[in-house]
Each structure stands twice: as C-alpha cells, then as structure tokens.
A and B are shown apart, each in its own frame.
Chain A
C-alpha cells in the first residue's frame, strides 16, 4: 500500500513539475468551453448532451498525452531499473501510475464544472442527466487511461506510445459505425458492444446501465492486468 502511494505521489509531482498537466487541462478547457458556447448559446438548448459528446472525442485525443510518459518515460530515463529493483510489486507500480493519471483526469473533469454556472443561471437543466453524463465521462476516461498506459509500457518511445494509443482509442470509439455495414446479427451486436461511443451515449442521455458501467470497468481491468503481466514477464 505504501509502495503504491509512493509511486502515486511521484507521478502526480512529475505531472505538475512538467508542462504536461497544465497543457492538457488548458487545451481541454479551451475545447470544452468552445463546444459548450456553441452548443448552448447557438442553439438555445439548455442541456449538456452535445457538449458531453464533444468532450468525449476531445478526451480521446488528450488521453495519450497523459499516458504516453507513464512507462516509456521510465524506459528512456533509465529509471525502470530503479522501479523494478525497489521492493515494489508490478501491481503496485501499475496501480500507482494509473491513479496518478486518473488524478489528472479528475482535475480536467472537475474544471469543466465552470460551464454549469451559466447553465443553471440562465436555464433549467436536468441535474440527474448531467450527473449521469459526468459519471459516464469519468468511466470512459478511466478505460482510455488504462489502454494508453498499457501501450506506454509496450514501447520505449513516448511519441510512438501516443501515436499508437490515438488510433486504438479512436477505433474503439467509432467501431459502432461498422454496425451499419453488417447484416450478421452477432457481428452487429459485437460492434455495438465494443463501442466506447455507444455506451457513453447512454450515460449522456441520463441512462446509467449496469452493462455500460461493467463494460468500462472490464476494459480498464483487462488493460491493467495485461500491463502487470507484461512487467512481470519483462523481468
């Protein structure tokens, strides 16, 4: 437990002592602010639905920036040798790093709450739908972080890690569109089930389905478990 905490604190410190955290949060807020203004004030509809959808895609492109350094940075900085020889288990290392990245995600998400002020001042939004949207957003983010972290552990170079993560996440997002080209019932179901976007859409509409919650948690768990096994195998 203390070992995981040590890794966690180190990760958070590292994020804030380099420009990454500030850059990611700033870009995300700028983008979200723009979408929010456009969706709410141009259409005059007082909901977050469209904004959440846009935030989802924006998140996919920013997640790799957060995760790319998690392991690749340790490889190139020659610090992996330290991590692997400290009295830490692979699980502690992986979870500590994951929670560190999740902290940045939480911060990004919390900062978007500023958009809710005008929404509540001038409109009459449904609080439950907004809450459900935020829960979905966090779950989506957690799944993407786990996938990004896994790819960061597989390659030495941070840029390559990011370049692999982006298309992988985007294909998980858009895989639902393949449904339209399938007549096979099973394939249609599979593509729909794998789609990050379709599960997210439920949350945005105010629907917290246990199937969707489990889906995101299982994706995260699989990616993290592969991450742990890879570290153990490397040794």
Chain B
C-alpha cells in the first residue's frame, strides 16, 4: 500500500534522506524508529504529499505522489507530529470540515463522525471549542481526523505523545484494530509500543534505513551483542580473569553490588555460540558461590542503540 523506491530528499546542498526504500503492505502495522532528526517526519511528509521527494518514487495505494497526489490523498489518513487543529472551531465542526474536504458524501457525514468520535472516545467534548481541550484530547481529535473517510493507509507521527497510560492503551487498540485490514506506518520513540503493536520495524538514522524486519528477527540478528548477567560472591579480579578464560566470552565488566563488597555483578559480552552459559556456570560455580546467571534478551532499546550507535561510529571513523 505504501512503497518507497530509492527516495532521496535534499534541501539545498543538505541531503536529509538518502536512498530510502521500503514497503508497508495491507494488514500490516510498521513501526518507524529513529532518534530525533533522523528523518522520520520528513519521510512521513513525503508519503503524505506535504513535500515531494527530490528523487525516487513514493506510491500510496498504487498512486504516484508526484503526479497523482489528489487520488493518493483520498486513500490517506495522516496525523502529523503536532495535531493540525483549528482552535476556534468546536470538535464536531472541525471533524465535519475534514470529512467534507475528504469528499465524504454529505448524507454519510453524520454516521462517519459518530464512528470516529466513539472509536477515539470524544463523546464528552464534541461541542467544546478545540482551544479548551487538554493535550490528550487534542491528540485524539487529531487521530479521529486521520480516521475519517475510511482511508486505506494511515500515517501516524508519534500518535501517543501527550496521552496518559490509559489513553495510550486505548489509542493502541484503535490503531491495532485499524491495522488488521489497512496499512499503517507509525513513527514513535516509545520502543515498547513497537513490540506491542507492530509487525515490522524500520530503523532509520541520519536519513538512511538501517534495518527493517519483525521485532523478533531484529532481536535474533543482534544476538551476538547479547550479554550474560551473573551475581557471584567472589573477589573481583580473579573472577574477571576466570570469566575471560571461558571460550565465547569477549568481555566482562565486574562491579560490586551496592551495599555489599563481596557480591559482584558481572556483565559478560558473549558471542552467539551455544552453551556459553553452561561453560560460564562451570567455570564459576566450582570456585565461588554463584547466586544468579541469566542470558539477557536484547530489548528493542539495545537493538536500536546497536544500529544507531553503529552509524554514529561509522561516521566518526
């Protein structure tokens, strides 16, 4: 439904997006991750048709954004980073304007408004002027606006920003339900959100796509960067030497546990080999008291930092 083919965006001599290609299919929610200034919003704006790509092709529902902008816009719901609201209008007048502008036939407008108002829980503020609304409500009015006209493609730039935990839960449900038979691209920097609702994750930094895959495959791919965590009652230096002697351990950081000099907490960087935990356990348990040993699954934070850190280092080198 959304397809980017080697898309680049330049402002003057500065290149913001380098040769970006990916697709979002129907029935799929793709998370778009990247640090601030990575080019997420620019990419969203190019897909939405607010700005045009300098080179490459963006298609939405089969329509080329460069030449069939208007046709594509009919298939698109877009929530920009800051919800685009008219403060002096009340919520229903605002939503009615967007519905009309999206070409919803006038006899269907009331039912369409009811639909988005109930799915975004806006019943209590329908008659209120938008400038009087709290940040959470403003965000939800923005989401309601994007859902109007039953778009096939939904672009959400940080949709849960400014919501409280309960509201985040509700917004996620709305997005998840919508994503079952539509294409959704969702940018966020709340990482758990991505694992919860996205089928695939695209990570970008400095305008380049670093990885795009399911959250679980990304975790596997960065398994080499895994670590094993131990708690041992032992003197620090001999423990470190013993661990480094184990096959598969690349580094060990030993720190004494706060409030106790004898108990050490160790982070071992290990490679992907099987059985490395068992070898570590054997090496330690025979000599000292081993309290705990666990293999740490890479969290999305680690994966993200792993990819983003790589490009930062690459640039420095």
Contacts and interface: CB of A to CB of B under 8 A. Distances in A.
A18 B98 CA distance: 20
Interface string A217-235: 0000000000000000001
A84 B50 contact: yes
A17 B88 contact: yes
Interface residues of A, number: 24
Given A6-B100, A87-B74, A82 B145 contact: yes
Contacts of B76: 85
B84 interface: yes
Interface stretch (A73-81, A113-121, A169-177): A73-81
Contact of A84 (B49, B85, B93): B49
A87 B50 contact: no
Given A82-B98, A87-B74, A235-B51, A3 B93 contact: no
B192 interface: no
B103 to A, nearest CB: 6
Given A6-B97, A10-B86, A10-B89, A85 B52 contact: no
B50 A85 contact: yes
Given A79-B85, A86-B73, A10 B97 contact: yes
Interface in B203-255: none
Given A82-B98, A85-B49, A87-B73, A14 B88 contact: yes
B78 A2 contact: no
B101 A3 contact: yes
A162 interface: no
A5 B103 CA distance: 11
Interface string B66-89: 000011011010101010111111
Given A85-B73, A86-B102, A87-B74, A79 B86 contact: yes
B189 interface: no
Given A78-B80, A81-B45, A235-B50, A88 B101 contact: yes
A85 B142 CA distance: 14
A82 B84 contact: yes
Contacts of B86: 10, 14, 77, 79
A89 interface: yes
Contact of A5 (B88, B100, B129): B100
A2 B100 contact: yes
CB-based closest 6 A-B pairs: A6-B100, A82-B84, A87-B73, A6-B101, A17-B88, A79-B84
26 contacts: A3-B100, A6-B97, A6-B101, A10-B97, A13-B93, A14-B86, A17-B129, A79-B86, A80-B84, A81-B45, A81-B48, A81-B78, A81-B84, A82-B78, A85-B48, A85-B78, A86-B98, A86-B102, A87-B70, A87-B73, A87-B74, A87-B101, A87-B102, A88-B101, A89-B70, A235-B51
Interface of A: 2-3, 5-7, 9-10, 13-14, 17-18, 77-82, 84-89, 235
Given A9-B100, A14-B86, A88-B73, 13 more contacts: A2-B103, A3-B103, A5-B100, A13-B89, A14-B88, A78-B82, A82-B78, A82-B84, A82-B98, A85-B73, A86-B98, A87-B74, A235-B50
